Amino acid sequence: MAFRRILSTSGYLYVSYACPWASRCLAFLKLKGLDHAIGVTVVKPIFERTKESDEHLGWVFPAADDEEPGAEPNPLNGARSVRELYEIASSNYAGKPTIPVLWDKQLKTVVNNESSEIIRMLNAEFNGIARNLGLDL
């Protein structure tokens, strides 16, 4: 199941510095000048168990600010892993929980998880608040 939704005015980006696709979304967000309006949280750079109850490994959030340099606890919805983000968005989600994630804070759902589409959205749908409006990558 792919996530392809329209973003309300409350976007948020989940990334990992270890993922090149997520990193390009973060780079574009900064270049376009949207970092003042769209929040970002960085997950840990290595896979860990996403739940105590099973062996699944994936992207997780640190429990504290000082647990993993560069990674941050999830400030929005209590999810401890990217897997849990997908489960919040869709309780019957059976796909692979990937990064990047463009999250809608208002609707509490994944808007998109495909980096090229996220970049297109950031380039076109946020020109009204972009600090570098002239940039068109």
Q: What are the tens digits of pLDDT across the range 78-108?
A: 999 999 999 999 999 989 999 999 999 998 9
Note the pTM of the prediction, 2 decimals. 0.91
Answer yes or no: is 49 within a domain. yes
Which structural domain, as residue segments, surrounds residue 112?
13-124
The alpha carbon of 62 is separated from its chain's Cα centroid by a whole number of angstroms, namely: 15
Residues 6+ apart with CB under 8 A from 32: 122, 123, 126, 130, 131, 132, 135
Q: How many domains does the chain have?
A: 1
Answer yes or no: is 31 within a domain. yes
What CATH code is carried by the domain that includes residue 33? 3.40.30.10
Other C-beta atoms within 10 Å of 14: how many? 25
Answer yes or no: is 5 within a domain. no
- pLDDT band (50, 70, 90) for residue 9: low
Among 15, 19, 26, 60, the active-site one is 19
pLDDT number for residue 1: 41
- Of the chain, the end-to-end C-alpha distance in Å amounts to 28
Answer yes or no: is 137 within a domain. no
Query: Is 25 among the catalytic positions?
Result: no
Answer yes or no: is 44 within a domain. yes
Q: What percent of the chain has pLDDT over 70?
A: 93
Answer yes or no: is 6 within a domain. no
